[in-house]
Amino acid sequence: MAKAYDYLFKLLLIGDSGVGKTCVLFRFAEDQYNATFISTIGIDFKIRTIELDGKKIKLQIWDTAGQERFRTITTAYYRGAMGILLVYDITSEKSFDSIRNWIRNIEEHASADVERMLIGNKCDMNDRRQVSKERGEKLAIEYGMKCMETSAKLNENIENAFFTLARDIKAKTEKRLNQNRPGSNSQNGTGSNTKLKPKDNGGSKSSFFKMCTIL
């Protein structure tokens, strides 16, 4: 069946163990209806469909399998990634200090033009804050990233973070497409990233893509 979307973006979450990556990506399950089959085996990735400026975008969002604990995130995990959320915990100085190391890791293993964004998670725990918002912003500016504070617990800014990252990747992709218009763009191995598609089943779009479907 025809591909009914405009773009496909692979997104990753990176950061120290315990900063809340899994909660950001998945459901913040405090009141675990736990010991279900699913929570026992764990979740690998999700596919989300969002709409931005009339374009239908598929997001494939991956969680780490906990490799970050051993700092063994390698090329395989980064392969094809177009966007990375770099997550620290605002109540953990150490997790914030680690961001520079993670950036180095990304530079080493990920594609050079991967879009990055800095996330200060757990902003619901202001009373235990160790990292000021200003320091987050300063670091983000230093590396040319956007930044945002989130709370997976209160579901605050999570959706916004994914949309912002997706929007920036889209802008970058479209800019590149325009630049390369006359020739074929072969610089980016996986052509599937920027595939232009026939959108066949038009019709009543608006209600399908309510902006709140991402977490």
Ligand X SMILES: Nc1nc2c(ncn2[C@@H]2O[C@H](COP(=O)(O)OP(=O)(O)O)[C@@H](O)[C@H]2O)c(=O)[nH]1
By the criterion CB under 8 A, which residues form the site for other proteins?
1, 3-5, 8, 26-27, 29, 35-38, 40-49, 58, 60, 65, 201, 208, 213, 215
**What is the closest distance, in whole angstroms, from the C-beta atom of residue 112 to other proteins in the complex?**
25
Report how far residue 205's alpha carbon sits from residue 54's, in angstroms, rounded to the nearest whole number.
9
The answer to the question of residue 122 lying near ligand X (CB under 6 A) is yes
Residue 107's identity, in one-letter code, is: E
Judged by CB under 6 A, which stretch of 50-58, 121-129, 182-190, 205-213 contacts ligand X? 121-129
**What is the closest distance, in whole angstroms, from the C-beta atom of residue 35 to other proteins in the complex?**
5
Report how far residue 83's alpha carbon sits from residue 169's, in angstroms, rounded to the nearest whole number.
7
Structure tokens that stand for 35 in this block = 């010991």
Helix (H) or strand (E) holding 179: helix 158-179
Residue 90's identity, in one-letter code, is: I
Residues 178-207 that bind Mg ion (CB under 5 A): none
Q: Which is nearer to other proteins, 35 or 76 (CB)?
A: 35
Q: Name which position in 105, 151, 157, 164 contacts ligand X (CB under 6 A).
A: 151
**CB neighbourhood size of 15 (10 A):** 25
Please say whether the beta carbons of 50 and 163 come within 8 A. Answer: yes
Provide the mask over 8-27, with x wherever binding to Mg ion is found by CB under 5 A and - wherever it is not: --------------x-----
- From residue 144, how far is each of 111, 140, 141 by CA, in Å? 16, 6, 5
Report how far residue 192's alpha carbon sits from residue 79's, in angstroms, rounded to the nearest whole number.
13
Question: Which one of other proteins, Mg ion, ligand X, none interacts with residue 45, CB within 5 to 8 A by kind?
Answer: other proteins
Binding region for Mg ion (CB under 5 A): 22
Which stretches of the chain bind ligand X, using CB under 6 A? 17-23, 121-122, 124-125, 151-153
